[in-house]
Amino acid sequence: MPEKILIFDTSILCCWLRIPGKDTAGPQNDPWDFGRISRLLLDEQKNGSTFVLPIASLIETGNHIAKCTGERFKLATALMDILRQSVQATSPWVPFTDQSALWEAIKLQELARTWPALAAGGTSIGDATIKHVAEYYAKAGYAVEIMTGDQGLKAYQPIAPIPRPRRRGG
């Protein structure tokens, strides 16, 4: 079974950090809050899952922190702790630099070509880049889950790889 990668969307980071006004996410029939996220992440970490912090989620969450009514310094410090863990590849975080291939000229040209159609359908540029992060890890053979309260973004989650049956010798 392939290793599982959890990709954090802004909505989940905001809930997990408890940013005022952004501390719940998702539809009424599938709500996310700090408790649900914390329990899930603890279980996923025990199961050996790896966490990914996309650049878009970092920037968007930082913007929400800078504009919130809560303790901005404390929240910003908590977000930067997550960034440091990602940069230093502190388990369970994957190295932040693994995403650098997605920001090369050819990938940015692909984004420039594909995003207008996505935008016409209501997909933000941040979500489009998170979609690319998910596809990047799926193509590398990982089982990928986009951690999000946004059902539109969740729809872009790659389908889990199908295990290939082993051939019998002989």
Write out pLDDT tens, residues 112-158.
Answer: 999 999 999 988 999 999 988 998 888 888 999 999 888 777 767 77
Q: How far apart are CA 11 and CA 37, in angstroms?
A: 11
pTM confidence score: 0.86
SS3 96: helix
121, 5 contact by CB (below 8 A): no
The predicted-structure confidence for 44-65, as pLDDT tens digits, reads as follows 999 999 999 999 999 999 999 9
Q: How far apart are CA 136 and CA 134, in angstroms?
A: 5
* Residue reference for tokens 């969740």: 154
Q: At what angle do helices 105-120 and 125-139 cross, to 10 degrees?
A: 120
Averaged pLDDT for residues 74-92: 95
Structural domains of the chain ordered from first start:
4-154 (3.40.50.1010)
Pairing of strands 143-147, 4-8: parallel
Alpha helices in 18-124 (DSSP H): 34-46, 55-67, 72-87, 105-120
* DSSP letters spanning 103-166: GSHHHHHHHHHHHHHHHHTT--HHHHHHHHHHHHHHHTT-EEEEE-S-HHHHTTPPPPPPPPPP
Residue 169 has a pLDDT of: 55
Q: pLDDT tier at 165 (50, 70, 90 boundaries)?
A: low
The predicted-structure confidence for 85-124, as pLDDT tens digits, reads as follows 999 999 999 887 778 888 889 989 999 999 999 999 988 9
SS3 27: coil
5, 52 contact by CB (below 8 A): yes
